[in-house]
Amino acid sequence: MSRTIPAVALLLSISIGVASRPVAAQGAQDQASTLPDGPGRALVAAQCGNCHSLDEALSKRTTAGRWLATVQEMIDLGAPITAPEAEAISSYLGQHFGLDGPAAPQAAGETSALPDGAGREVLTEKCFQCHQMNMWSAIRQDRRAWEGVIYRMIGRGALWTEDEIDAMAGYLARVRGPMPAGQR
């Protein structure tokens, strides 16, 4: 009797592992089908989709060089990506999710979920060129911290005037500022 329990457990483990493989493969195929055609598409779905939801991971727009740096960061964190795969992935991402690509798609009603106020229009015009609202909507911080985020984006190539920076930082501090102590 004592030998049958470990044997059954082993068989069950193997069965579950084998049965789940097609599900994982199906997930990669589903994610790949939402990506634009091109060399590197399957790698992006398989490698990036291994750890990330592609809609969130691909909500930003940047250069192929910056995508390569991002892929390298993932490799440094343990992603099993070879150098040729990293080149193919960053080339694909730079072509389809580069600075000249279409703006990141927004979920229906995302911008309307933002409260009206001075700075809302600038925020939606500028930030939503590269980011989806869900990338930052859970963040709550003061004006100075929001200014830091905005200036970090300028360091990455965003082109904004001082008036736009002031409007966005003020708006974000009002609608995504720190929670009052009694509401935490």
Statement to judge: residues 73 and 8 lie in one domain: yes
pLDDT digits (tens, 9 = 90+) for 82-131: 999 999 999 988 888 887 766 555 444 444 567 888 888 888 887 877 77
Domain membership of residue 55 (yes or no) is yes
Statement to judge: residues 178 and 125 lie in one domain: yes
Cα–Cα distance between 17 and 68 in angstroms, integer?
Answer: 33
3-state helix vs strand vs coil in the chain, percent to 5: 60, 0, 40
pLDDT digits (tens, 9 = 90+) for 25-72: 344 455 566 788 888 888 888 888 777 777 656 767 778 888 899 899
Q: Which of 70, 96, 122 is the last residue of a domain?
A: 96
Handedness of CA 165, 104, 97, 25 (dihedral sign): positive
Question: Containing domain of residue 123, as a range?
Answer: 111-183
Domain membership of residue 120 (yes or no) is yes
